[in-house]
Amino acid sequence: MTIALRTLDDGAWISVNDSRQVSVSDVWTLSRGVFCDCEPAYVLLEGFVDVGVDGSIVTADAVGQCLDCGTRDSIDRLPIGQIVDGEFEPYGPEGVQSLVEPGR
Amino acid sequence: MPTDVEQWKDELYGTDIRAEIEHFAENGWESIPDDEQDAWFERFKWYGLYHQRAGQESYFMMRIGPPGGVLEPGQFRRIVEIADEFSRGPATNPEFGNGWLDVTTRQAIQLHWIRLEDVPEIFEQLEDVGLSTVQACGDSWRNIVGCPVAGKDKHEHVDADALATDLHDTFKENEAHSNLPRKWKVSVTGCDEGCGQGDINDLAFEPAEKEIDGESVTGYNVRVGGGLSRNEPRFARNIDVFATPEQAVEVAGGISALFRDHGDRENRYNARIKFLVDEWGPEKLRETLQEEYIDFELETAGEDLRDSYSYNAGEADGKHDHVGVHEQVDGNYYVGLNVLVGRIGVDDGYALADAAEEHGSGEVRLTQRQNIILTDVAEENVDDLRAEPVLEDYSPDPHPFQRGSIACTGTEFCSLSIVETKNRQVRYGRWLTENVTLPEGVENFHIHLSGCTASCAQPQIADVSLRGMKTRKNGEPVEALDIGLGGGLGEEPQFASWVTERVPADEVPGAIANLLENFAEARDSDEQSFREFVADRDDEELADLIEPEETNYEDPFMHNTKRTWYPYAEEDGLDESPAPARADGTPIPSDD
Ligand code: HEM
Ligand code: SF4
Ligand SMILES: [Zn+2]
């Protein structure tokens, strides 16, 4: 089955099948090196730019800022959840995340 | 590839949306097919309906945009009645109760907690008095802003009210201009004080004079491509065009059509015309306008009045807003009233409508500083008006900290927001008023608080700019604000520079208090304005003057207000949300 994935309201949401699933303006915990040198890095996502899938993993491109060192940058392919039996299961921002490498 | 939004707009947009809204309203919220919600909510924006944030499903924000902020006699009262009857939420706001209306920075009114089922009835009640929500949101001509005392003011050079109304009548519900790549914000200024804030709009008409065939003609210079959003603020750029009042509508139509045809529809983040002006430069824009869109020879820019612009210009004297009692050209008075963060409870709303009718003509105008103005008050009525009890809270002579406060919607309703805004700004204003003495000669001090970089509260053009952020304090993520300084309009507008970032929200009042104390000590003389003082120093020096600290100010919103269904509810968790709800307020059970 196809899943409808899109960003909405100027990057405020990731919508999955017309339901607002992942919200911008949350603090995500990222492992060292993927965004800045902080360990871990607490990164406030300021806007979603795009959304995609990699196998069953839903990834988002976003713009964010590290709350400790202040680095502001874009983030590519941040895993935000998984499709299991056609349903979206969000990972939530608290768990430590790495980015999905291209070509995985 | 065109975006989803572009595809939805292609399928159905503009006035065709009305019948669909009526249909869904009749059959109830649940009749919107699950897999079409994103598309419908995007389209509803064109009719001024914005689906509220997560946890508030099935409730809408409704925006009503009167051109130039002019509410004719009877219109303000009608909006209060609508707010009273239809704008009541499932929970109470501790500062504002339940049932209110918000005056916005683009001279519109926003109502919240609107149910789709009530919308046709509300539309009827609005239309009955000549009001509408058309194009208040969505990708087209938004509410046309302008000098809020146009037609009444002694400083007026050209009749901005007439042009704003002409533009409104021509471009609202105009099929050729109803589907633009992005929002389209237009400002008309007619006075020599610059209160239309044209510099931060997509298209600005500004008063000017031009020698044409040996005769001096009054009209407008044209600027294009201003806007504050997304960390990419721009001032509108001079495209070297003068338009007579007769030509102005055609010029506006040409530029709107140019944007329609040449704006970026592939990438919404690059779609505003400010980015097209970046790419093309003002010369190419003018050339294309002349060649493809305008039938007559465009005049080059005339003599403008920008050197007298005093509105929000940060000068020690000069005009900063429209609050207070001011004489009109006809000898009557207009009385500008302070509205704290733009929010008016319905009971106060009725009292203000009564006061406007009893002492003035009943007309109420909305300003870009979230305030209101009662016009046409005869000289002999001014004292009686001032004695009305409702003017104790909505004062023509407020404390500078309250007068200068602007706050956007924030996490209360807005999906983009990072922090709580309006209640916090009210608390800041109260604390500052009680605890901080303004330095000598400072009678105006603007503090603008926006919950995110979209900048609805126009933070970059304030004395103290506040923008929502997060930080970590004692290991916990807490709501925080970036603090910017140096912004303002005037002849040479400036955006604030974000001097100190990620200050925990409970340390911001202390930071402002320290900053003002340091300013009072270090300024050259009592004549130096705050803006001049800031302009004289680099960011590092300024950062040293800010000194955030905890004080006896208490902030009840330090936790993640975004993760609540309503930040002030007793049980505020997202899973406690009563939404979505049916028209009678009963929650709709989810099917999983
Ligand atoms: C439900 C609440 C609101 C939502 C969801 C919302 C949505 C947005 C969005 C998505 C943007 C940024 C998009 C862009 O400009 O590229 C924006 C910008 C803006 N909005 Fe709002 N908004 C809300 C409330 C308001 C309010 C209360 C005002 C006050 C008049 C307002 C006026 C503006 C202004 C002035 C900007 C500045 C950006 C610019 O055009 O330069 N909005 N809003
Ligand atoms: S500035 Fe941001 S948080 Fe505030 S109303 Fe606008 S979009 Fe929402
Ligand atoms: Zn970092």
- CA dihedral in degrees (B382, B384, B389, B394; nearest 10)? -10
- How many domains are contained in chain A? 1
| Distance of CA A32 from the midpoint of ligand 3 (Å) | 8
- pLDDT, residue A93, reads 85
Residues of B in contact with A10 (CB under 8 A): 268-269, 416, 454
Report whether pLDDT(A103) > 50.
no
Please report whether residue A102 resides in a domain.
Answer: no
| Residue B466: φ, ψ to 5° | -125, 135
Residue nearest to atom 5 of ligand 2 (CA): B409
Residues of A in contact with B472 (CB under 8 A): 42, 67-68
Q: pLDDT tens digits for B130-164?
A: 999 999 899 999 999 999 999 998 888 899 999 99
Please report whether residue A12 resides in a domain.
Answer: yes
Please report whether residue A97 resides in a domain.
Answer: no
Please report whether residue A67 resides in a domain.
Answer: yes
Residue B229 Cβ inside 6 Å of ligand 1? The answer reads: yes
The ligand placed nearest to the CA atom of residue B230 is 1
Mean pLDDT across chain B, nearest whole number? 94
- Which of B109, B137, B203, B229 for a ligand 1 pocket mutation test, highest count of atoms within 8 Å of Cβ? B229
Residue B137 Cβ inside 6 Å of ligand 2? The answer reads: no
pTM above 0.90, yes or no: yes
How far, in Å, CA of B461 to CA of B405, rounded?
Answer: 12
Please report whether residue A101 resides in a domain.
Answer: no
Domain boundary assignment for chain B? 4-128, 150-308, 328-398, 403-559
- Fold of the B328-398 domain: Alpha-Beta Plaits (3.30.70)
Give the mean model confidence (pLDDT) for residues B182-198. 93
Flag if A27 and B230 touch (Cβ within 8 Å): no
**Separation of CA B263 from chain center:** 24
Tell me if domain B150-308 and domain B403-559 are identical in fold.
yes
How far, in Å, CA of B577 to CA of B490, rounded?
Answer: 46
Could you say which architecture CATH assigns to the domain B150-308? Answer: 2-Layer Sandwich (3.30)
Structural domain boundaries, residue A24? 5-90
| Distance of CA B229 from the midpoint of ligand 1 (Å) | 8
Query: What is the full DSSP assignment across B9-30?
Result: HHHS-GGGHHHHHHHHHHH-GG
Surface-to-core class of residue A61, CB atoms within 10 Å of its CB (0-12 exposed, 13-18 middle, 19+ buried): middle
CB-based contact (8 Å) between B2 and chain A? no
Choose the closest CB to B470 out of A20, A23, A27: A27
CATH class of B4-128: alpha beta
How far, in Å, CA of B138 to CA of B453, rounded?
Answer: 19
Q: pLDDT tens digits for B251-264?
A: 999 999 999 999 99
Please report whether residue A50 resides in a domain.
Answer: yes
Global ipTM: 0.90
CB-based contact (8 Å) between B38 and chain A? yes
- Fold of the B403-559 domain: Sulfite Reductase Hemoprotein; domain 1 (3.30.413)
Please report whether residue A104 resides in a domain.
Answer: no
CB within 8 Å of chain B, chain A residues 72-91: none
How far, in Å, CA of A52 to CA of A63, rounded?
Answer: 15
Please report whether residue A69 resides in a domain.
Answer: yes
Q: pLDDT tens digits for B521-556?
A: 999 998 899 999 999 999 999 999 999 999 999 999
